[in-house]
Chains A and B, each alone.
Chain A
C-alpha cells in the first residue's frame, strides 16, 4: 500500500533545506519524504478506529517539514518515521464512535481532528487543557501510550492522511461529515477549524477593524470564519475586514468570502491607515508605521516580515493573532513593548466560547453570554454555508507527490490555493469503496 513516510534522516533534511531554496515543495525528490509500500498501522488500543483517507490536504506546516524548515521546537513533539497528512477526509473501516458519541458505521465519511490529546493517549485524569476542552493546548502530546506526536501526521503510531494504508484514530478525533457536504468541502474542515479558532481568539468586538495578513488557505478561511461567525450571530461584527493577498485570485476569493477590501500586502498598511484615520511615521523612508492602526491583525503568514508588518499596523493595545506557523524569526519587539500590543498564538482547536461578545482582554466587561461548542462543529457548520471546496485547486494521486508538493509550494503563483492528495485515484492498493 502506498504511503508517504518522513524518516529521521538529517542529511536528507539538510538536502531538502538546500533544495527548497529553488522553491517550497521542490525538495521532495531529495528530502526525507519517501513513497514506500507500508502495512496498515496497528490499532493502538480499544475503541480506536481504522480510517481510509479519501482526500488529504497539503498544509503549510507539511511543506515546512518536507522542506526541512520546521522549527526545532517540534523535535520532541514528533516521532519518526511518521506518515504526514493531518487534513483528512476519510471513510471508517469497520465501526466505532465519533467525538460526540454517536455511532459510526463502516464506510461513513469522517473528518479527522488530528490533535493527539490526553484522551487519545489514554491519560486520565487529563491535563488542564484537555479537561477544559482545549485539546490544542494539551500538555502531554509526548506522553501516554502513543509515541510523541502533537497530531496525527506527526506520530509514528497513528499513520497519516498521505497513505492508502489508512490511519488509526481515536473516537475523540472523529467527526461525521453531513451528507450534504461534498468531499472537497470536507477536506478543508480541519484548516477551517484552525481558522475558526483563530477568528475567535482574536476577540473581535463590534465595529473593530481587522486586518488579515496573507490570503492563502488560512487567510481566506479566517476571512470566511470572521464573516460567517458575525453573520450567524456567534461572534461580533467587525467594522471592516481588510485582507492582504499577494495574488489577484486570492484577493478575489477574499472579497467573495467577506473581506471589506482585499489588497496587495504592501497596500494593506495604507488601507488600515486610511480606514482608522491614523497618522504615520517614517513614511518618507518607505517604512511607514502607524501611530494608531487596526484593532486586530491576524497574521496568517508567520514570517519575520509579516510580524513586522503586523506590528507596524496594529493600534496601541491591539492584538496580533499569529496563525501562520512561524519558526525562528529576527524581529524588533520595541513596538510590541512600547505600544502594549498583545501577540497571541492561535493553534489548532478544541472548544470555543461563542456568543455576541467574545472575550476581549483589554476591555472591561467584554465577555458576554457564551456557549461552548466544539471547533469542528462550528467549522462543519461554516463549511456547509460557504463551500470551502472552492479553495481546492488541484488533486493529485499519491504517486505524483513530487508534483503535488511543488504545486502546493507555488500555489499562489500558480493561481491555486489548496492542493490535496486524492487517495481515491491511487491504484487499487487501498481499500476502496
Chain B
C-alpha cells in the first residue's frame, strides 16, 4: 500500500480538537473554523535490506567518485567522521544507521588492509557524547574496537594542535577544520539527513570546524538571509557552507560522502496516536491518549522527561547514497522532500505549533527556554520552502511549558546568556556585537566544552541567531502555558490558555485572522505556494 502524502485539513464544525505537543505533555485544542492543519506525510516504506543498500551505495558512488574499495589501500590514513547525538530525533532504535554504515566501511577497509583508522564524532561546537551515546550510535563492537585505543575521538574545536586552517573563501571566510580529517588520505563522512539542510558540504564545513570558521555563517546576518534553511537556493547558510566545502575539496581533502534518509516513523507503538490525524483516532488511540496524558500530568517534570528521553524511534532507512558530496546531496535532498514535503497554498496570519520535549541540543537533557525559542522560531518556523507559513507581521503561537530550567552540565553558558544577555537585549545583531566574543572565548566554557559535556560558550548565541529570521518576520510570539517570567525574558508574551493566545494574536493581526497549525512532529516541510 502506498503511504499517504502530507495533508492539509480545513477545520470545520465536525473537526475534533487537535493535538498540540506541550513539552513532555500534550494538549487538545479546538481550532477556529476555517483554520488549516498541516499534517506530516505517513512514513515511506523502508529499504528492505539496509545493509545491502549501504553496500551497494559504497560500491556504486554518485558523481565524480570512485567506488570506496578503490579509494582504500594499505598504509593509508582513513578518517571516518559521523554525525553526533543531535541526530536523529528522537534517537533511533538500535541498530543506529551510523553503526550499519560504519560497519560496512570498516569491512571494506579491513579487506583493503587499511589499519590506520580513526573515528571522529563531528561535534562542531556541540557537547561531547557520553559513552552510552557513542555505544548506541556505533554499536558495542565498533566502540570496543576503537575507544580503548584512543581511535574513537570527538572533534575538539578548541584544540589548536588538532585544527588546520585551509584558507579563506572568495568572501574571506576562514576555513579551519579537524586536522586529522583534513590531512588524512580519505575522509569518509557518515550522515543522517533528518531534514533538508543536513549534510552536503555542511557536514565537514560545519561539523568539523572551529569557532573561527563557524562564525562566518553562524551569525545574525546569515541566518536572517536564509529563507529558509531547508531551501538550499534561498539559504545563505547553505551558500556559505558550499563555498567552504569547495575550498576544502580544492585544498586536496578527499571526502567520500555517505548520506542516509529516514522515514517519519517517529514514535513507538505505545505512542501511535502521535502519528495519526485526530479524526482517525481509534477507540484504542483515544484511550491511550487519555491514559498517557493523565499519567504525564501527574508525573513530576523530571520523571516525565525521563520517560520521553527513553523513547527510541522506529525510524527506518529509506535511502542511502555515497560518493561526491554535491551529487550525493542532491539525491538526498530530493529523498527528504519526498518524505516530508506537504504542499500548502498561501500564508496565514497566525501560525500555531506545539513544541515537543526534544530538539537537537537537549538529547538526554533539559529543554531550556533558549532552546524552546530555537525550536519554535529557528527550526519549526523554517520548515518551509517558498514562503513562511505565516505572513510577515503575523503571529506565532507556541505551546510549551518553557520552564526556567537549565542543565548545568550541558548548558552552562546558556544560563549566563539567559541571565546576563537576554536581560539586556534580544536583538541578535546587538548581542553578537556586544557579547558573543566574550562568551566564545571564555576559558571556563572552553574548559567545560573540552573536558565535560558542555555545549560551547557561544552556542546559546547560535540558538538565538537561528531565530533571527522569524524575529524579524513576526510581529509577536505568544507562548501558551509557559513560565511567564521565562517567556517574558525571551521577549515573548505568555498566555495561560490557547483562547487567550488567539485573542492576543488578534490584537496584532486583526479580528478575523487566518490560522495554520503545524502538526509536527513527525517532521514535515511545507512547500508554501
Contact = CB atoms under 8 A, between A and B. Distances in A.
Interface stretch (A265-273, A345-353, A371-379): A265-273
A271 B419 contact: yes
A286 B408 contact: yes
A374 to B, nearest CB: 39
Contact of A274 (B408, B409, B416): B416
B416 A271 contact: yes
Contacts of B442: 274, 277
A277 B416 contact: no
A332 to B, nearest CB: 23
B91 to A, nearest CB: 24
Interface string A261-285: 1011001001101100111100110
Given A283-B408, A284-B408, A277 B444 contact: yes
Contacts of A283: 408, 412, 448
A274 B444 CA distance: 8
Give the size range of B's interface with the partner. 10 to 19
Given A270-B415, A286-B408, A263 B444 contact: no
A271 B408 contact: no
Interface in A236-294: 261, 263-264, 267, 270-271, 273-274, 277-280, 283-284, 286
B225 interface: no
Contacts of A286: 408
B419 A279 contact: no
B443 A263 contact: no
A278 B439 CA distance: 12
Contacts of B438: 274, 277
A70 to B, nearest CB: 36
Contact of B416 (A264, A270, A278, A279): A270
A279 B420 contact: no
Interface string B101-130: 000000000000000000000000000000
B56 interface: no
A289 B208 CA distance: 33
A279 B443 contact: yes
B286 interface: no
B447 interface: yes
A279 B447 contact: yes
A81 B419 CA distance: 49
B420 A274 contact: yes
Interface in B402-440: 408-409, 412, 415-416, 419-420, 438-439
Contact of B444 (A261, A279, A284): A279
- For chain A, give the interface size range: 10 to 19
Interface string A147-174: 0000000000000000000000000000
A104 B419 CA distance: 52
Given A274-B438, A286-B408, A280 B420 contact: no
Contacts of A263: 419-420
Contacts, number: 35
A46 to B, nearest CB: 58
B444 A271 contact: no
B140 to A, nearest CB: 28
Interface string B298-331: 0000000000000000000000000000000000
B419 A278 contact: no
Contacts of A277: 438, 442-444
Contact of A261 (B409, B420, B439): B420
A246 to B, nearest CB: 14
Interface string B386-411: 00000000000000000000001100
Contact of A267 (B412, B419, B444): B419
B323 to A, nearest CB: 44
Contacts of A271: 416, 419-420
Contact of A278 (B409, B412, B444, B448): B444
Nearest to B447: A279
A299 B438 CA distance: 27
A277 B412 CA distance: 14
A267 to B, nearest CB: 5
B435 to A, nearest CB: 10
A286 B409 CA distance: 10
A157 to B, nearest CB: 51
Contacts of A267: 419-420
A273 B442 CA distance: 9
Contacts of A261: 420
Contacts of B416: 270-271, 274
Nearest to B412: A283
B70 to A, nearest CB: 49
A270 B419 contact: yes
A267 B417 CA distance: 11
A108 B444 CA distance: 58
Contacts of A280: 444
A191 B477 CA distance: 46
Interface in B123-153: none
A294 to B, nearest CB: 15
A283 B448 CA distance: 10
A273 B419 contact: no
A274 B415 CA distance: 11
Contacts of A279: 443-444, 447
A221 to B, nearest CB: 23
A146 B142 CA distance: 87
A261 B423 CA distance: 10
A286 B415 CA distance: 13
Nearest to B439: A274
Contacts of B409: 284
Nearest to B409: A284
Nearest to A286: B408
Contacts of A273: 444
A124 to B, nearest CB: 55
A283 B442 CA distance: 16
B372 to A, nearest CB: 20
A264 B419 CA distance: 9
A263 B448 CA distance: 24
B425 to A, nearest CB: 13
Contacts of A270: 415-416, 419-420
Interface in B441-458: 442-444, 447-448
B408 to A, nearest CB: 7
A103 to B, nearest CB: 52
A37 B408 CA distance: 59
Contacts of B443: 277, 279
Nearest to B443: A277
Interface in B342-394: none
B55 to A, nearest CB: 44
Contacts of A274: 416, 420, 438-439, 442, 444
Which of A264, A267, A278 is packed against the most chain B CB atoms within 10 Å?
A267
Nearest to B419: A267
25 contacts: A261-B420, A263-B420, A264-B419, A267-B419, A267-B420, A270-B415, A270-B416, A270-B420, A271-B416, A271-B419, A274-B420, A274-B438, A274-B439, A274-B442, A274-B444, A277-B438, A277-B442, A278-B444, A279-B443, A279-B444, A283-B412, A283-B448, A284-B408, A284-B409, A286-B408
Given A267-B419, A270-B415, 5 more contacts: A271-B420, A277-B442, A277-B443, A277-B444, A280-B444
Closest 9 CB pairs of A and B: A267-B419, A279-B444, A270-B416, A274-B416, A277-B443, A280-B444, A271-B420, A277-B442, A279-B447
